[in-house]
Amino acid sequence: MKHLSILAEEAPNPIVPVWQEIVIGVIAFAVLCFILMKYVFPKMEQTFRARVDAIEGGIKRAEETQAEANRLLEQYKQQLTEARSEAAGIRDEARAEAIAAKDDILAEAREESDRIIAAGRDTLAASRQQLLTELRGEVGEIAVELAGRIVGESLADEARRSGTVERFLTDLDAESAGSR
């Protein structure tokens, strides 16, 4: 039986581990944990923090950019509204100026038309008066000559002295004015 005990000591039990292997495993695990905690985890934490900061910073910058864009959009809309109001004011002012200019031009045209018509009437009246004066003289001469032929003597000098022709024409004008 001695023999059996040697065999039993030599063959390790597969269910129970050897204590030397457990010690080496624990030491290796401790060294591995120390290296990971001292060098790897801080680097990973630093990288993780940098990434979180970059994402949060990016989100914050995006929000700030969005807020700035909204502010600029509102400012643009306000400027556009002001520009439209100003353009409407300029259009209204231009219309008013155009109407005033049109009224001024029409008034000047009416004044010029009235002046031309008045000058034409004055010229017409002067021409009519001149024509009447010439006609009176000619009618008087013709009447004197005709009367002279009827009477048989020259009445031209005597008619001029006595104003017979002038009286005749004045009477004739008075009769024609009375019949109107």
37: confidence class by pLDDT, cuts 50, 70, 90: very high
The rounded mean pLDDT for the chain is: 84
Q: Which residues contact 18 (CB under 8 A, 6 or more apart)?
A: 12
pLDDT of residue 142: 80
Please give the pLDDT value at position 1.
Answer: 46
Higher pLDDT, 154 or 44: 44
State how far the Cα of 130 lies from the Cα of 161, in Å rounded to an integer. 23
Label residues 95-133 b or e (16+ Cβ within 10 Å = b): eeeeeeeeeeeeeeeeeeeeeeeeeeeeeeeeeeeeeee
For the chain, give every domain's residue range.
15-45
N-term to C-term CA, the chain = 181
Report the 10 Å Cβ neighbour count for 17: 11
The confidence score (pLDDT) of residue 166 equals: 74
The residue that leads in pLDDT, 180 or 177, is 177
Q: Has residue 9 got a pLDDT over 70?
A: no
53-91 pLDDT, tens digit per residue, is 889 888 888 999 999 999 999 999 999 999 999 999 999
pLDDT, tens digit, 9 for 90 and up, residues 111-170: 999 999 999 989 988 888 888 888 877 777 787 777 777 876 666 666 655 676 677 777
Stretch 43-47: mean pLDDT: 93
Rounded distance between C-alpha atoms, residue 130 and residue 127, angstroms? 5
Token code pair at residue 133: 């004066």
Q: Has residue 30 got a pLDDT over 50?
A: yes
pTM of the model: 0.39
Residue 8 has pLDDT above 90, yes or no: no
